[in-house]
Amino acid sequence: MVPLVQAKPEPARERGDHLLRRLGGTLLEQHCATVGRDSSTIAKTILGGGDAFTEVDAFLRSMEQYAAIGVDQVCLMPMGPDPVAQTAHLIDNVLPRLSDISG
């Protein structure tokens, strides 16, 4: 039996570098060329990408970096004891500023 080893999460910078290689570099372009697809027709989506609940400015800076390499959408979900308050925070404090970011 092989023991189950949980991988450590990558630091945000490493995740960004990884996405840059896949999206901003040539990897996606190469795969698309292989199958004859225009890479601009692919929606580039990430899950999270920082702490939008307590570190709004840092989160938005990271979203600017993701947008610059072609990320189109970010999915966020509240986690914790009060998801309604967290959702209200996102709507009031994050989404208006996030909608101003474009790549």
All structural domains of the chain with their residue ranges:
12-98
Residue 20 pLDDT: 66
pLDDT in tens, 18-68: 766 666 667 888 888 899 999 888 888 888 867 888 899 999 998 998 888
By the 10 Å C-beta count (0-12 exposed, 13-18 middle, 19+ buried), 15 is classed as middle
Banded pLDDT at 6 (limits 50, 70, 90):
very low
Terminal CA-CA length for the chain: 47
In 3-state terms, what secondary structure has residue 28?
helix
Kindly give the pairing relationship between strand 45-47 and strand 73-75: parallel
| Residue 103 to residue 97: CA distance in whole angstroms | 14
